[in-house]
Structure 1
Amino acid sequence: MTDLPTFGAGIWHFATYKDRYATDGYGEPVGLLEQIDRAGAVGELSVVDLNWPFVGFEGTTEDVRSALTRNGLRAVAITPEIYTREFMKGSLTNPDPAVRTKALEMLHEATAVAQELGCDYVKLWFGQDGWDYPFQVSYRDVWQQAVHGLRELVGAHPDMRFVIEYKPREPRNKIIFPSAARTLLAIQEVGHDNLGVLLDFGHSLYGLETPADAAQLCIDHGRLFAIDVNDNYRGWDDDMVVGSVHLVETFEFFHVLRRNGWDGVWQLDQFPFREDPVQAARQAVDFLKALHRALDALDEEALAAAQTSHDALAAQRLVQKVLLTSMVEAG
């Protein structure tokens, strides 16, 4: 078997959650250090993605570093919260110049934290940057504001990587970076080599992309810097345990990564609202290990022949054989 990849998770995987129905939450609040301890209890994770600011945490960055170290973890990324109430009309595209300035200041501060913790990248998710109604915005203006803000940010930190996590909608009805293609277009306009894509498998499903195709597009442009994996029913960003719905498409996604020699972190972005978070992470990693074994066993020569002739049934037979065998071996 080839070497296993590095496994990671967003730290929010180990928090508790609220929604518009269970406004009191699906469990008791869990502090940042306890979330890190839960991530360490999985036993299979090497890195975590941390939100910033550290909401409700009164300690220091050194306290966070110590908690990571005692759990055998490293911070792979910082995700600044530029999607909270103060940014409800957008961060880099907010109509108020003072709010745009504040968003940029927060992003610079988040980058400093990422540098202090030795992170690989800063993750940018522009959930509030977009629009809800026809005629609400000038599309040219918001696009230029986003591109100019990104150019200022990433240009100021040439030694740090930044990734845009695209998503079609939620919380805005239309998010400014909804797809792989539009995100790549923005990155091209920004013009800095340290800006790339984080491809969230569930967002790609939700946006009615073929995730493997989106990954190939980003790789071909040299911009697939990171991935998050999960699952959903394609009608919403459910953030379910990876592989629980779209087994074959998940396998195809990782096959594209393997075929192109992409060797980044296999990172979980799951929200186990009603499930035990540690067990949900363990089960997800077990599944990903089974996929890894299946990739080793896949007859690449036969698959290439099937793809050359666009033989769907032959390709499916090959895939089903290795998937089912790998799942049985996983127990």
Structure 2
Amino acid sequence: MSNQKYGAGIWHFATYVDRYATDGYGPPRSLVEMIDLAGQVDDLSVVDINYPFPGGETSMEKIEEALRRNNLTVIGITPEIYTRRFAKGAFTNPDPGIRRLANEMVNEAANVVRRFNASYVKLWPGQDGWDYPFQVDHRRVWQQSIEGVAELAEQNPDLRFVIEYKPREPRVHMSYDSVARTLLGIEKMGVPNVGILLDFGHSLYGGESPADAAQLAIDHGRLFGMDVNDNLRSWDDDLIAGSVHPIELFEFFYTLRKNKWEGVWQLDQFPFREDSVRAANSAIGFLKGIERALDKLDFEAMQKAQDEHDAVTALKLARDALFTSY
């Protein structure tokens, strides 16, 4: 029986707005309501929660009770350093007062991580970057990106921080836009407790091979977390995992298994129009198929095919394992 844990960002169970349906795709939900929905998903045991808590004022005690009754634990806390007050950046904001506010918010989130005995603080500095040529001093913005995270890591040496990189959105160009650039920044920080949370969809639409990105992060000892979804490569669609790129998703998990990487397999999906519980069950069902396929795959034969750069044999091995396991 598998011991693999499955998780999801709690936002998977929220309701959404976009620039067209500004009235939303459903009624607003409180955090407790989101947790209760997450508890209806088969085999889901872990959640990532935003901070400040979404859906209005909710006490820590009510959240803990909701987690207990749904048999859920918290893997990470994601501070919302990407909202309107941070429109010009969090760590890279030209206003030092806003930069200090970002630091304070993340430190508050760090205390919530301790309260829940979670694994990490997740940093997604979506507003850090630029939109136009000549808009910023690139050296200064990059230095601020590095120094802002390094300061937090040094202030909280007992905790792990993960950076979730993304090419763009909401900024046209984000500071942490790729696995390579993020690794460069982390190495420059020189701290042991900062790593990468690799989002499969961000890697895809950034033009990377997610398997290659994972290998690079692992080789540098910095793959601290991961989440999966899918997209059509031109945007961060956050579709159900495995719905568009099943072979590349399988290669991604093959790379994790090959390197003996262990951690939660987490969903970062945005089911705008779909039932959130069914969408999560659909994704986890496919991930379980990938687990079975990894157990079935002939790793020695795959390595031999890869050593010879034999694409036809390698693909046959992968397809035979995956498409007979779902």
- 2:230 aligned partner, one-letter code: D
Match in the other structure for 2:291: 292
Native 8 Å contact 1:77 1:119 kept in 2? yes
Measure the CA separation in 2 of the matches of 1:59 and 1:26: 23
User: 1:202–1:231: 8 Å Cα contact kept in structure 2?
Assistant: yes
2:70 partner amino acid: N
Q: CA deviation at 1:55?
A: 3.2
One-letter amino acid of the counterpart of residue 179, structure 1: S
What does residue 163 of structure 1 align with?
A: 162
Q: What is the deviation of 1:56?
A: 3.6
Preserved CA contact (<8 Å) 1:4 1:292: no
**Residue 238 of structure 1: aligned partner:** 237
- Show the counterpart of 2:307: 308
- Does the residue aligned with 2:324 lie in a helix, a strand or coil? helix
| Equivalent in the alignment of 2:27 | 28
In structure 2, how many angstroms separate the alpha carbons of the residues matched to 1:112 and 1:238?
32
- C-alpha distance in 2 between matches for 1:75 and 1:4: 17
CA contact (8 A) 2:28 2:55 kept: no
Over 3 Å counting, the alpha-carbon distance change for 1:87 and 1:294 in structure 2 is same
2-structure distance, mates of 1:15, 1:58: 15
One-letter identity of the residue aligned with 1:207: G
Alignment of 1:61-80 (within 5 A): 61-80=60-79
CA contact (8 A) 1:42 1:282 kept: yes
Output one character per residue of 1:123-171: Cα deviation in whole Å (capped at 9) or x when no partner.
Answer: 0001100000000000110111111111110111111100000000000
* 1:281 alignment partner, SS class: helix
For 1:140, the aligned partner's letter is R
| Equivalent AA in structure 2 for residue 44 of structure 1 | D
TM alignment of 1:131-170, pairs within 5 A = 131-170=130-169
- Could you tell me which residue of structure 1 aligns to residue 324 of structure 2? 325
Unaligned runs of 5+ in 2: none
Amino acid at match of 2:54: V
Secondary structure of 1:50 counterpart: strand
Partner of 1:220: 219
The alignment's TM-score, normalised by the length of structure 2, stands at: 0.99
In the alignment, the residues of structure 2 paired with residue 229 and residue 147 of structure 1 have an alpha-carbon distance, to the nearest angstrom, of 26
What is the number of residues matched between the two proteins? 326
Identity %: 62
CA distance in 2, matches of 1:194, 1:212: 23
Computed over aligned residues only, the root mean square deviation of the Cα atoms, in angstroms, reads: 0.8
Contact 1:8–1:266 (CA<8 Å) still a contact in 2? yes
Report the Cα offset of residue 59 of structure 1. Answer: 2.6
Q: Does the 8 A contact of 1:92 with 1:149 survive in 2?
A: yes
Counterparts of 1:324 and 1:150, CA distance in 2: 42
Shift of 1:4: 3.8
For structure 1, the 5+ residue unaligned runs are: none
What secondary structure sits across from 2:150 in the alignment?
Answer: helix
Query: Is the 1:4–1:289 contact (alpha carbons within 8 Å) kept by the matching residues of 2?
Result: no
SS at match of 1:196: strand
- Alignment map for 1:29-178 (pairs within 5 Å): 29-178=28-177
Offset, 1:100:
0.6
- Superposed CA deviations along residues 161-200 of structure 1, whole A, max 9, x for unmatched, are 0000000000000000000000001111111111000000
Give the AA of the match of 2:31.
Answer: L
TM-score when normalising by structure 1: 0.97
AA at the equivalent of 1:98: G
SS at match of 1:242: coil
SS in structure 2 opposite 1:41? coil
Runs of at least 4 residues off by over 4 Å: none
